[in-house]
Amino acid sequence: MPDIFELGFSPELDRSEIFSGSQSDDMEPPAVSVVPSSVSGDSSPIAIASGELASIIFTGKETFDSTEAGYRMGIDQSDGIYKWIIGDSTSSIDWAVTTAATLTITGAGLVSPTLSYGKTSLADSTNAGYWISSDGVYIGAAADATAFKYTVAGGTFDFIGTVSSRSTATLAAAIDASGDLVTDVINARIDSESKKLLSDFNFGTDDYAGAVKSGDIAWNTTTGAITGGSGVVVYRGGIIGAAAGVATFSIDAATGSATFAGTLSAPTGTIGGFTIGADYIKDAADSFGLASTVSGGDDVRFWAGDTFANRATAPFRITEAGTIVATSAVVNGSSISNNDIYGNGEDSDGTITGDTSLTKDTFYNDLSISNNATLTTDGYRLFIKGTLTIESGSKIAWNGNDGTAGSNASTNAAVSGGAGGTALSSASLYGSGAGKTGGASGAGGTAGGDGGGGTAGTSGDAITNSFADSFSSGSGSGGNGGGSAIASGGSSGAAGGISASSIRPYNSIFAVEMFDKAPGATPATLKYNSNVGGAGGGGGGKASAGGGVAGAGGGGGGAGSGGGVMVVAAKIVVNNGSIESIGGAGGAGGNGANGGATGGGFNNGGGGGGGGGTGGPGGVIVFIYSTLSGAGTVSVLGGTGGTGGTKGNQGTGGTTTAEATNGQSGSTGESGKLITLIV
């Protein structure tokens, strides 16, 4: 046990002077270097012999685990261990004297910049021991037989010894200064510069035993068949993928055969002698194939005999609508050709640069129409064995003729209606009926008399051998006359009726002939629309009793005649102009006359305007071709209706009376029929 005087107690003290508190008044206080504020132990303080220590000496700390400021030294009665603790709740030194001899320092660090044993510096590689400082950590045996060293300045770490029985010298030799593996089994198979992972990696001699796999895929190592799991496996026998134990694809290394359970998608590539593009599969020579292009029209889906770019004009093609186009075919040993439809080209090549009319059914080899020229068919059929070219501004046509305008009234005298458009004369094909004449106007009244009513337009004629389902078209009515008594304008003439044909020209044979030859019937050319009636004339105005005359009405406009029947058959058509059979325009209604001045009573009334004539109906075009291109048009529209005539104004000098009315405008003619056959 330590001597008490080593702790600073004076040897002059006795027990009575320290603990009894009964020292004499004239005794000097003892000289004390260190006097604890409290001394405690298992025995009474008075039992401590001179020169001995109590079992516990402390100040502030009542227990060894107290966080109060102070110190406590002695034997802990709870575990019998000699302890010494000094400090407070944040900084303390705690030392339990056991076989472990643990020293605990809390809330403080070592003041000394170096902690060492044996080694004299961070560079001492001779002595055994350790050196710890702000420069680094060095622990090693004598002559660095084994060592651990970290240098702060260079950030270097040196280690001499073994890692899992592997010498650090061996490990260092396997990694160069750049951190790359130098030489081992794996490094010999890795080429990091060219990003080659494995070189000549051998799975063994069995086709299916050794492998690289991804996922939990499982397989028979003898046959290679999938037995479970999902993923991909690569073995000598090939590559195979699976999902839930079912093969989804495989590639046989021996044969090159590939099997795919799902969709095989390739935007480009080749298969055998075929090339795959974004919207086609075609042969290497680009002479036939399949197309998937979507343009919004009837796209070609299969073609042969031309390139992908020219598939729309290939000699053989099938559209998405199911249309088959072929220049010829052999069915059951017999040849089928379209040459019979397009003719034999006996009239040679044709070049038309000025207005021209056909005088017979014509069979061109090739035909070109340019320079704003018009080829009028005049009731004859047109056949082109090769190519028909229509330049912009040029046309093939057989249009109806326009009706003329009704006469304008200038006095109280009635005037005539306009003439209808003249008929198109029939030849090999039917032409058209004439448009009908407009009605005459009513005369203006005199000496207080009423005006005359306008005359109705002439009605159209009935036709036979028509393949139209129905037909109805009307002109405008004439305007009413003005004045105190109203004279009505004439009504429009009715459209002609139709009598149906039993033949309908919707195949190439009937369409080319355009002939009604039903059994028991008289053969006749096929027709479509009838002609139309003329417009009514305007009513005359009522005269004033005070003198003067009223104005007469305007005459009704004549109706346009219909477009003719046309047959145009050409193997190849390049149309940048137009092919048309349009009805003639209706004539305008005549204007009514103004009423004359009067000396009293009501004003003399003005005459009503004449009605406008109806446009003629569109004709019929049978258009047969194998290939069509260009931005041109094909039209069978009806003609435009004529405008109604303007009413005459009432006269002056009397009381205001009722005004006359304008004539009605004529209607647009009905459209004709376009029959298109692609052969």
| DSSP per-residue string spanning 344-373 | --TT--EEE-S-EE-SS-EEESSEEE-TT-
Residues 6+ apart with CB under 8 A from 32: 8, 9, 10, 13
Q: What is the band of 667 on the pLDDT scale with cuts at 50, 70, 90?
A: confident
Predicted model pTM:
0.53
> Which residues does residue 480 pair with via DSSP β-bridges, in sequence order?
none
Nearest to 84 by CA among 68, 107, 61: 61
Report whether pLDDT(673) > 50.
yes
Distance CA 343, CA 42 (A): 141
Among 46-60, 390-404, 561-575, the range scoring the smallest mean pLDDT is 46-60
Task: Quote the CA–CA distance of 319 and 307 in Å, as a whole number.
Answer: 16
Whether the Cβ atoms of residue 602 and residue 608 lie closer than 8 Å to each other: no
Rounded to 5°, the CA angle 586-588-590 comes to 145
What secondary structure letter does DSSP report for 46?
G
Of 359, 679, 675, 305, the closest CA to residue 504 belongs to 675
Residue 312 has pLDDT above 90, yes or no: no
Band (pLDDT 50/70/90 cuts) for residue 372 is very high
Q: Of residues 48 and 619, which shows the higher confidence score? A: 619
Residues 6+ apart with CB under 8 A from 593: 408, 409, 410, 411, 412, 444, 541, 551, 552, 553, 606, 607, 648
Say what percent of the chain tops pLDDT 90.
Answer: 26
Q: How far apart are CA 118 and CA 129, in angstroms?
A: 4
Contact 435, 613 (CB under 8 A): yes
SS (H, E, C) 618-664: CCEEEEEEEEEECCCEEECCCCCCCCCCCCCCCCCCCECCCCCCCCC
**How confident is the model at residue 336, as a pLDDT?**
63
Instruction: Find, among 450, 448, 454, the residue nearest to 415 by Cα.
Output: 454
- Greater confidence (49 vs 84) lies with 84
* DSSP structure string for 279-325: SEEEETTSSEEEE----SS--EEEEESS-STTGGG-SEEEETT--EE
Structural tokens at position 319: 């559209």
pLDDT computed for residue 578 by the predictor? 98
Question: Above 70 in pLDDT, residue 95?
Answer: no
What's the CA gap between 645 and 651, in Å, rounded? Answer: 19
pLDDT tens digit sequence for 116-163: 888 888 888 889 888 888 888 879 888 888 887 888 887 787 778 776
Q: How confident is the model at residue 202 (pLDDT cuts 50, 70, 90)?
A: low
Nearest to 386 by CA among 365, 361, 362, 369: 365
What pLDDT, on the 0 to 100 scale, is given for residue 21?
A: 41
